[in-house]
Structure 1
Amino acid sequence: MTVMMGFMRWVTFDVFGTLVDWRHGIRTGVELVAPGKGAEVLEAYVRHERDVQSESPTMRYRLLTAEALRRACAEEKVELGADDASVLAATLPYWPVFPEVGAELSALREAGWRLGLLTNCDRDLVAETRRRLAVPVEAVVTAEDVGAYKPATAHFEAFGRAYEPEVWVHVAQSYFHDMVPAHRLGLPRVWINRQGQRPDDETIIQRAQPDLRGLLEAVENASTPAG
């Protein structure tokens, strides 16, 4: 991981769910191998992916998606062909970026913020996605790099050691994977609550909004101590 010193104001992001439409990608990927079953398998997949991440924190993400998909399809009694479980890793580079992402990330950069990605993904997979963001990103920390999946704090700790940010705000969609560990570490944070969820603990949520629109203001407010 290349260290870039001197960039002191950072915003880090989760990628899939926050910048990229993860649910759409999974649902449509399943439809390719099990037409008509995308929506029901998606909900089972979300649960099983967490379990596999917890059980096998060093498993490569492309293998993890295949195992989680096999379990989800077994639960939903959806039959997969011999190679069908690889469909999510195969299609992941084409999952759509949310429409507001380019403008909002550009606004952050123009205001002097540096951008980083803390992702539960492999290096090669996120590299393909990174090209689709159309905005330069100065730092990437993957699950492959740290040998762990969020909500473990290894991504955050590795980023902090490498870049030593003076100001650091974390932005993410997942309450479970990102808001909880960011809160545990005392990081300013913005929850992108795309699914309209209710948090288990309201005190964990510092700032929340339904998408990235107006993110610059939210980030700057989050980075400013109250009072």
Structure 2
Amino acid sequence: MDFTKYDALSFDCYGTLIDWEAGIASVLTPWAAEVGLALSNEQLLTAYADNEADAEREAPADLYSTVLAEAFRRTGHQLGAPVSEQWAARLGNSVPSWPAFPDSAAALRSLAEDYKLIILSNVHREGFAGSNIRLEVEFDRIITAEDVGAYKPASNHFDALDAALDDMGIRRERLLHVAQSLFHDHVPAKRHGLDSVWINRRHNRPGWGATPEPADDYGYSAEYPSMDTFAHAARKA
């Protein structure tokens, strides 16, 4: 890739910069043990994936904390083990405690030397504020689901991104979208005609984990297994 073509990078956060699968599993796993479900983390995440996407699509104006709680309830129903309100609230309030991937902060600091950085995230403002502390960088724009009243792969985030680019004086062809989720990000990025890079955090694991398998067309210009390798390639350019 010719990274000199770009002036700005937009990032998905959860799955790309923050380890949302570890965060979700940190609640689902002890719950499963308590209710007697002998399921692995991967099995729990796979069961959870479509339930979160469905909750986001059906109630796009709900805060992400509410979506998490509802997705958890639906997952419990699907698995035949009801989820108490205490457990649902525990997942709903857990976002600020989700860990960053070990390479995220350093990679973002490196990239900030050459690019404007924009967050494009399926989360509420309060949740992202907690995560941003772990990322240790000041983003030039932050666009959340709470801001746009919808969840990716809906178009709202990308329409808001266009408006942000206009405000920043950056041509949209000078933006590169950086994300892990093919379903949430690379499908709508292709639909909007944006260049994108796939941070394939699950490159050494089979299956889709907490992310639904994409059913629509997607594309990306390059694939990297981590933010570290991506930032190194950009810095080299």
TM-score range, shorter chain: 0.7 to 0.9
Q: Distance in 1 between matches of 2:29 and 2:184?
A: 26
Q: Which residue of 2 aligns with 1:4?
A: none
Q: Which amino acid aligns with 2:78?
A: E
Number of residue pairs matched?
Answer: 214
Displacement of 1:33 in angstroms is: 3.3
| Aligned counterpart for 2:95 among listed residues 77, 92, 97 | 92
Answer yes or no: is the 8 Å Cα contact 2:186–2:218 preserved in 1.
no
Change over 3 Å in CA distance of 1:44–1:203 after alignment to 2: closer
Distance 1:202 1:51 in 2: 19
Match of 1:103 in 2: 106
What is the aligned counterpart of 2:52 among 45, 49, 54? 49
TM-score (norm 2): 0.82
Q: Which residue of 1 aligns with 2:219?
A: 204
Deviation at 1:80, TM superposition (A): 2.3
Is the CA contact (8 Å cut-off) linking 1:41 and 1:73 kept in structure 2?
Answer: no
Alignment of 1:1-227 (within 5 A): 9-35=7-33, 39=41, 40-110=43-113, 112-164=114-166, 165-166=170-171, 167-196=174-203, 204-216=219-231, 218=233
**Residue identity in the other structure for 1:145:** D
Report the Cα offset of residue 127 of structure 1: 0.9
* Letter of the structure 1 residue corresponding to residue 225 of structure 2: P
One-letter amino acid matched to 2:93: A
Following superposition, the deviation at residue 79 of structure 1 comes to 3.3
Deviation of residue 67 (structure 1)? Answer: 0.6
The one-letter code sitting in structure 2 at the alignment partner of 1:208 is E
| 1:37-88 alpha-carbon deviations (Å, 9 max, x no partner) | 5623322111111111111111111111111100001111223223210112
The structure-2 alpha-carbon separation of the partners of 1:91 and 1:69, relative to structure 1 and needing over 3 Å to count, comes to same
1:220 Cα deviation from its structure 2 partner: 7.8
- State the Cα deviation string for residues 169-193 of structure 1 (Å, max 9, x = none): 1100000100011111111110111
Could you say what secondary structure the match of 1:191 adopts? strand
Matched to 2:76, the amino acid is: C
Displacement over 6 Å in runs of 4+ = 197-203
Distance in 2 of aligned mates of 1:200 and 1:51 = 14
Q: Distance in 2 between matches of 1:147 and 1:202?
A: 24
Q: Separation in 2 of the partners of 1:135 and 1:171?
A: 16
Task: Output the CA distance in 1 between the equivalents of 2:214 and 2:196.
Answer: 14
Gaps of 5+ in 1: 1-7
- What secondary structure sits across from 2:94 in the alignment? helix
SS at match of 2:117: strand
Deviates more, 1:15-24 or 1:131-140: 131-140
Q: Aligned partners of 2:108, 2:29: CA distance in 1, in Å?
A: 31
Structure 2 distance, partners of 1:93, 1:37, is 26
CA RMSD of aligned residues (A): 2.4
